[in-house]
């Protein structure tokens, strides 16, 4: 008989645990006997344990679940990412003729001119700009050829000396027949496409690069490199 009770004891304990863990509420997850094994404050640092009934009780937890656990950032808060700080700051120049001129005088690209940046800028230009400006920036894109948009200036002559600040301002707000591209191009992508437009201003002549893909120092009489250096 003693051995029989010893054999039945684990079964009895198991049944008791099973029955105790069962609840009639279909929305309940049941009873957790070792919550610390499921929720480790040392690991899950962003879990709000103020809403955990095992920590504060069901009544308090139910009330706290109705309250936002994290505070909203104040208006104008900018996400901190050191490598992207140049591309998340608010644009300081207004959408006015004065803002356009001021951007042309003071705004400079945060990018360093490299082969990779120019190549990426060419990809964006091909996707977003050739329909109007043409493959070589002559203003002879498909929309110009079919008569939909006339008078698109060329980067080879009329826009040859256009400062990069004015380019960025135009991409951001639009100018004349050209609409804003701020919703299609991120701040970084706008600067990347400008890197390639500066090549088109030199009639497509690429600057000289070193083995690391960086622009070599401009040499006297080197029109492409000198032009790129001036635009930078």
Q: For residue range 178-216, what is the model confidence (pLDDT) as tens digits? A: 999 999 999 999 999 999 999 999 999 988 888 888 888
Q: Which residue has the higher pLDDT, 48 or 119?
A: 119
Q: Sign (positive/negative) of CA torsion 185, 165, 172, 148?
A: negative
DSSP 179: E
User: Is the pLDDT at 169 greater than 60, yes or no?
Assistant: yes
Give the domains, in start order, of the chain with CATH numbers: 92-231 (1.10.760.10)
What does the buried/exposed string (b/e) look like for 76-109 if buried means 16 or more CB atoms within 10 Å of the residue's CB? eeeeeeeeeeeeeeeeebeeeeebbebbbeebeb
Average pLDDT over the chain reads 78
Among 32-41, 78-87, 221-230, which range has the highest average pLDDT? 78-87
DSSP 4: H
Q: Which of these, 52, 48, 74, lies nearest to 61 by C-alpha position? A: 52
Structure-token pair, residue 208: 């000289």
Alpha-carbon gap, residue 166 to 162, rounded angstroms: 7
pLDDT digits (tens, 9 = 90+) for 69-109: 566 777 877 766 666 777 878 899 999 999 999 999 999 99
Q: What is the pTM of this model?
A: 0.61
């Amino acid at each position: 008989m003693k051995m029989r009770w010893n054999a039945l004891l684990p079964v009895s304990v198991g049944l008791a645990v099973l029955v105790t863990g069962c609840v009639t509420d279909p929305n309940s997850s049941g009873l957790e006997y070792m919550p610390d094994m499921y929720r480790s404050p040392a690991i899950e640092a962003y879990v709000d344990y103020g809403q955990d009934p095992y920590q504060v009780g069901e009544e308090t937890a139910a009330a706290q679940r109705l309250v936002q656990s994290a505070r909203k950032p104040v208006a104008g808060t900018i996400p901190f990412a050191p490598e992207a700080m140049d591309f998340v700051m608010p644009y300081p120049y207004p959408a006015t003729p004065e803002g356009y001129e001021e951007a042309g005088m003071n705004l400079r690209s945060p990018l360093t001119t490299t082969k990779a940046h120019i190549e990426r800028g060419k990809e964006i230009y091909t996707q977003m700009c050739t329909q109007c400006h043409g493959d070589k920036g002559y203003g002879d894109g498909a929309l110009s050829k079919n008569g939909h948009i006339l008078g698109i200036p060329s980067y080879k002559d009329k826009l040859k000396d256009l400062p990069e600040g004015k380019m960025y301002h135009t991409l951001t707000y639009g100018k004349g027949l050209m609409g804003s591209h701020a919703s299609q191009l991120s701040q970084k992508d706008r600067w990347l496409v400008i890197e390639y437009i500066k090549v088109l201003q030199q009639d497509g002549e690429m600057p000289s690069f070193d083995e690391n893909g960086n622009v070599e120092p401009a040499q006297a009489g080197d029109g492409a490199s000198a032009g790129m250096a001036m635009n930078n």
